[in-house]
């Protein structure tokens, strides 16, 4: 995951000024709270969480991509398919 340095805030500052955290989320979509100078918590808005958890923005593969991958798997596993067909 790429972290925008503009969205980073220390846990102390987040504790003292949570409205700054929400402002960062409103402006950038996320806020990263640092604990001991390491990214520890990710704050995202509800819509972003819904997309992340429910996969609403998943990229759908083209039919050609799926067909090419399927053909490759069949070629790689032809021996197993032949055994299963018996």
28, 7 in Cβ contact below 8 A? yes
Chain-centroid distance, C-alpha 16: 29
* Residue showing tokens 């055994």: 83
Query: Between these two residues, 65 and 17, which has the higher pLDDT value?
Result: 17
- pLDDT tens for 33-49 read 999 999 999 999 988 88
Whole-prediction pTM = 0.58
């Amino acid at each position: 995951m790429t972290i925008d340095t503009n969205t980073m805030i220390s846990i102390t500052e987040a504790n003292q000024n949570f409205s700054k955290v929400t402002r960062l989320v409103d402006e950038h979509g996320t806020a990263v709270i640092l604990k001991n100078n390491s990214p520890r918590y990710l704050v995202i808005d509800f819509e972003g969480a819904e997309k992340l958890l429910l996969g609403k923005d998943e990229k759908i593969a083209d039919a050609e991509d799926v067909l090419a991958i399927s053909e490759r798997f069949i070629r790689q596993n032809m021996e197993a398919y032949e055994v299963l067909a018996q």
